Amino acid sequence: MLEKLKAIRSAAFARLEEADSMQKLNDIRAEILGKKCELSQLLRSMGQLAPEERPKAGAAVNAVRQEIEARFEEMRAIIQKKEKEAALLNEKIDVTMPGKRLPSGGLHPINIVRNDIVDIFTRMGYDIVDGPEIETDYYNFQALNLPLDHPARDMQDTFYITKNLLLRTQTSAAQIRTMEKQKPPIKILSPGRVFRADEVDATHSPVFHQCEGLVVGKGITMCDLKGALDLFAKGMFGPKTRTRFRPSFFPFTEPSVEVDVSCSLCDGKGCRVCKGAGWIEILGAGMVNPKVLAGCGIDPEEYSGFAFGIGLERVALLRYGISDMRLMFENDVRFLNQFR
């Protein structure tokens, strides 16, 4: 029997050495110490021994069992340590690895241009005011000296919500709202979205952006207008930029002008962007019509003022040398990425 015990012991030790994971170690333990193991069978067969031999044999079997248990514990400690180390190695973070770059957004060219215009004019002391995109006929047309039957309304056909409510065609509506609320001196800038019932093409869109300027005070002249716009043009397109006024007509300004800037791409020589003219029209302006001042309760005998309306798309096209306005609204990231 002792011979058999010795054989079981060395077989068990050899089996334990084979374990290379906790899973395997536990399986082996069940096999060599479990209910059906050889050791248990040996214990059960002790009934065949002489009664006086039984305690000695029992003690010998238990001693081997304990030895195997002890070795199992040792093995467990070793394997657990190894598994922990392996896990730690797996989780190791290489802090020197390059990171993954997350795509970041950027400003739309229209917003870049708007922010720059706002910067230029706030430096000249203008306050920024906001106006509603849904306007009444009164603020968008009538108060700007465009009565219901005025032919100039044709140029600004828009989208009507009711007979009286419409999507504003021009930020000029902000002039009236400001003059109704505020006494001169007034110096405001009002950027925003405007709408017209136009077909989409390279130079037209039913939605576009303007930036309205209004200055009212004592002794304001057209020289002040020219000075302000010249500063704006140089700030926007570079110090070499020149401006020119061409006579024009707006019902709410008198006299009215169309303002051109020298093409910044060809410096006035004529190119693809300015269509050979050397000049590009970017805004309408003029001296506030006395009728408009009076309508807002400002005495035109005492005060005068100028107003201008800058087309933001025009400015952006010119500044970035883009020939098709549709790019501004398609939001193709390949286009937008160039402005980051």
Q: Please identify, among the stretches 68-76, 232-240, 267-275, 280-288, the one whose residues bind ligand PHE according to the rule CB under 6 A.
A: 280-288
Rg of the chain over all Cα atoms, to the nearest angstrom = 44
CB atoms within 10 A of CB 46: 14
Q: Please identify, among the stretches 108-116, 120-128, 303-311, 320-328, the one whose residues bind ligand PHE according to the rule CB under 6 A.
A: 303-311
Distance from C-alpha of 245 to C-alpha of 256, rounded to nearest angstrom: 9
Rule CB under 6 A: is residue 109 a binding residue for ligand PHE? Answer: no
Rule CB under 6 A: is residue 205 a binding residue for ligand PHE? Answer: no
**Tokens coding 282:** 């970017």
Backbone φ, ψ for residue 254 (5° rounding): -155, 115
* Cβ-proximal residues to 229 (8 Å cutoff; 6+ apart), any chain: 243, 259, 283, 285, 308
DSSP string, 120-165: HHHHTTPEE----SEEEHHHHTGGGT--TT-GGGGGG---BSSSSE
- The residues in 82-101 that bind ligand PHE, with binding defined as CB under 6 A, are none
- What 3-state DSSP class applies to 41? helix
Please, which residue, 184 or 284, has the CB nearer to ligand PHE?
284
* 237-276 footprint of ligand PHE as x/- string (CB under 6 A): -------------x--x-----------------------
Rule CB under 6 A: is residue 309 a binding residue for ligand PHE? Answer: yes
Residue nearest to ligand PHE (CB): 309
Please, which residue, 109 or 213, has the CB nearer to ligand PHE?
213
- The residues in 117-176 that bind ligand PHE, with binding defined as CB under 6 A, are 170, 172
**Residues engaged in binding ligand PHE (CB under 6 A):** 170, 172, 250, 253, 284-286, 307-309
